[in-house]
A and B are shown apart, each in its own frame.
Chain A
Amino acid sequence: MSEIDILSLSFILSVLRVSTPLIFAAQAGLLSEKSGVVQIALEGFMLVGAFSAAVFAHYTKSSHLGFLMAFGCGAVFSLLFSLLVVRFKTDAIVAGTGFNFLMAGLIPFLTKFLFNSTGSTPSIPVEQRLSFEVTVFAILVVFAIYAMMTKTRWGYWIQFAGEYPDGLTACGVSVNKVRWVSILLCGGIAALGGASLSLFLSSAYSPLMTGGRGFIALSALILGKWKPVPTLIGCLVFGTFEALQIRLQGVPINGVVIPVQWIQILPYVLTIILLAGFFGRSQAPAYLGKR
């Protein structure tokens, strides 16, 4: 097989498949960043989700239940993040870095504790793996967030918390409350991204299986200018790269094999180029990361 038909249905499906975790994570990041909290802990939340989904799916024998529990676990762990960032005003980048560390360290500890393994969870039977209903759900989440952000009072609270928090306080709404809830949803939804990794893209949790997807999601968010639908498109673009990389592994094009690493680093290079403003300036929420 020397040619790849990138318009084939199977390729499009594989793009949708690998994009799914990114879509969840990027929308999660959007909720947090729109409310003014820099979110570089997406990677950590995804790890929580991937792990807890696999664990609960293993014990309950139900992948759907595992998927749901991932949301719960992500939300619960987000409380720790909020406690630090919202309540104690810790720098969100510091807390986020710490959070990623914590999850990378804690999960191996838990796998050893629960399964006496070196970092993986037992696989669920292949027939229990989730399927494209997850992708459909992810896209529904995008439109739900779009509707919430632009039509509802709550969405505007989030926007003001990121644009001019003092203005929100002056209207009698607690900025901290808005941020607590935003981060709670962010943790839960990002964890769903992780869950789709361990229950949809594969059938178990393996060590550090997020592989930087949290940061790719963040890039998609920035490229999508903090808007739900453009962010979704950003995720699909990065998903296409990932799908291409899987397809092109060892496959020659016109007799030349493209090294897999080149395709691996392509999204990162692309992000830097786009960030450098050759794609128009991004409009970050005005109070993002400020206190």
Chain B
Amino acid sequence: MKSFLGFLFGLFCALMIVFIAGENPLTILSILIKSSFGSKYDFGLTLFYMTSLIFTGLSVSVAFKSGLFNIGAEGQLNFSAIAMVSFAMAYPQLGMPSSLLAILFIGVLAGATWGALPGLLKAYRGSHEVIVTMMLNFISAGISSYLISQYLQNPDSQNPESAVIAESFRTNSFDFLNQFFPESPVNLFFLVSIATAIAIHFFFSRSAVGYEMIAVGENPSAAERANISSKKFVVLSLTLSGILASGAAMNEVIGYSGQYKIGFSPEFGFMGIAVALMSNNSPLGIIANAFIMSVFHKGASDLDIETETITKDFSKVIQALVLFGVGLQYYINKSGFKINFPGRNSKKKPKGNS
């Protein structure tokens, strides 16, 4: 929770901007809260965003753990979504249990591919993962746009989106969670995301593979000496990262809409970066921070309607300021002034004195 102060700082700055623009910060806060919790529908929508943010937050944090910056969760979830929709369109006749398993497999595989690619290039060709994942974001957007416009376009719609896939590929028919939130998009994958976060928590805190992955992130040369192949783990962690990002695609395609809409993700992949940093890469912290972020995201869309000056993009400003705040928080923790947490970091000694 060290980075929580950073978050508060970011929020404070955002509200100051709002204030300067002539809005009452308290009104803004109340709109935010009403918009996120005001009705079952609203709350369901908040949880729906939260699901995707947990997945992308985990995706980014797993890469961070092994010292990599996955800026490509967006492309990974995008590619996974288009792959799932294309598959379901290609084999519409598949029956229930196998259809669902197959589409899940395709989704995971697509995410894994989009993660493994930068991993392999990083490990074996030394290409910087930030650039490669960024490029892959653009490429997957291009591929989706191509597939939609050429093959998958929904004939009943003016918008660039695919037709709806068959019921057998979706979870709506047996979704008990959704029934509590009528009309709202929250679905079973909310529970999956929570379970995944807990699983990742145990993966890093208990398993040997998780330990080895952290070791590679902390010190690749020492890991190499300890017979932990950093190359292998670079590929593994980015692949896992891609798989986790694909969860956000499943939340949309399998759990909710059953179609690919261009722009269905309001940059969940990038919001995941903020979530991961706020949580200091702790999987359980990601659950909490994904919630906070989804409240802002949901709220910002209503601010657009209910205020004069604020647009729906305003959640980006909040995210940016939160990122800055979290960055500053790291600085304060490192340089060790102002805020000292009792019992921790009290005896840090600067390096290099002999």
Known: A89-B331, A95-B327, A109-B311. A102 touches B142 (CB 8 A): no
Judge whether B134 and A109 touch: CB under 8 Å: no
Whether B139 contacts A265 by the Cβ 8 Å rule is yes
Q: Inside 8 A of A102's CB, which chain B residues have their CB?
A: 316-317, 320-321, 324
Enumerate chain A residues within 8 angstroms of B128, measured Cβ to Cβ: 222, 275
CA separation between A232 and B220, bound complex, in Å?
Answer: 35
CA distance A222 to B135 in the complex (A): 13
Q: Check A272/B142 contact, CB under 8 A, given A88-B331, A90-B331.
A: no
Stretch at the interface among B143-151, B163-171, B208-216, B244-252: B143-151
A272-B320 Cα distance, complex, nearest whole Å: 28
Choose the segment among A10-18, A60-68, A193-201, A211-219 that binds chain B (4+ C-beta atoms closer than 8 Å): A211-219
Question: Which chain B residues in 136-187 approach chain A with CB under 8 Å?
Answer: 136, 138-139, 142-143, 145-146, 149-150
Closest Cβ–Cβ distance, residue A21 to chain B (whole Å):
17
Cα–Cα distance between A281 and B313 once the two chains are bound (Å): 39
Please classify how large the interface on chain B is, using the bins under 10, 10 to 19, 20 to 34, 35 or more: 35 or more
**A90-B331, A265-B138 are contacts. A84–B146 as well, Cβ < 8 Å?**
no
Contacting residues of chain A (1-55) with chain B, CB-CB under 8 angstroms: 40
A94 to B146, CA, bound (A): 31
- Nearest-CB distance from B127 to chain A (Å)? 4
B347 at the A/B interface (Cβ < 8 Å)?
no
- How close is B315's CB to chain A, nearest CB, in angstroms? 7
Once the chains bind, are A265 and B142 in contact (CB under 8 Å)? yes
> Across the A-B interface, how many residue pairs have beta carbons closer than 8 Å?
139
Q: In whole Å, how far is B268's beta carbon from the nearest beta carbon of chain A?
A: 13
Q: Which of A84-133 contact B (CB under 8 A)?
A: 84, 88-91, 93-95, 97-102, 104-106, 108-109, 112-113, 118-119
A218 and B133 CA atoms in complex are apart in Å by: 13
Residues of B within 8 A of A112 (CB): 309-311
Q: How far is the CA of A100 from the CA of B319 in the complex (A)?
A: 11
CA distance A259 to B148 in the complex (A): 12
A72→B306 CA distance, assembly (Å): 34
Query: Given the complex of chains A and B, what is the CA–CA distance between A225 and B283 in angstroms?
Result: 38
The reply to whether the CB of A276 lies closer than 8 angstroms to some CB of chain B is yes
Q: Which of B69, B139, B315 neighbours the largest number of chain A CB atoms within 10 Å of its CB? A: B139
Assuming the contacts A90-B327, A101-B319, asked whether A259 and B125 have C-beta atoms less than 8 A apart, the reply is no
* Residue numbers in A under 8 Å from B334 (CB-CB): 89
B324: which A residues are within 8 A, CB to CB?
84, 90, 95, 98, 102
Chain A residues lying within 8 Å of B314, measured Cβ to Cβ, are: 105, 108-109
Q: Count of chain A residues with Cβ under 8 Å from any Cβ of B?
A: 42
- Alpha-carbon gap, A112 to B135, bound state (A): 31
**Chain B residues within 8 Å of A91, by CB:** 327, 330
B319 adjacent to A98 (CB under 8 Å): yes
Instruction: Determine how close the nearest CB of chain A comes to the CB of B206; give it in whole angstroms.
Output: 28
Chain A: CB-nearest residue to B307: A112
In whole angstroms, what is the CA distance A200 to B319 when docked?
32
- Nearest chain B CB to A172's CB is how many angstroms away? 20
Cβ-based interface call for A264 (8 A): yes
The smallest C-beta distance from B62 to any residue of chain A, in angstroms, reads: 17
Q: Which residue of B lies closest to A44 (CB)?
A: B320
Ordered nearest first, which 3 A-B pairs have the shortest CB separation? A105-B316, A90-B327, A98-B323
Can you list 28 A-B pairs with a CB-CB distance of less than 8 A? A40-B130, A84-B324, A88-B328, A90-B328, A91-B330, A93-B71, A94-B327, A98-B319, A98-B323, A101-B270, A102-B317, A102-B320, A105-B311, A105-B313, A105-B318, A105-B319, A106-B317, A109-B309, A109-B317, A112-B311, A113-B309, A212-B138, A261-B149, A262-B146, A268-B142, A275-B121, A276-B127, A277-B126
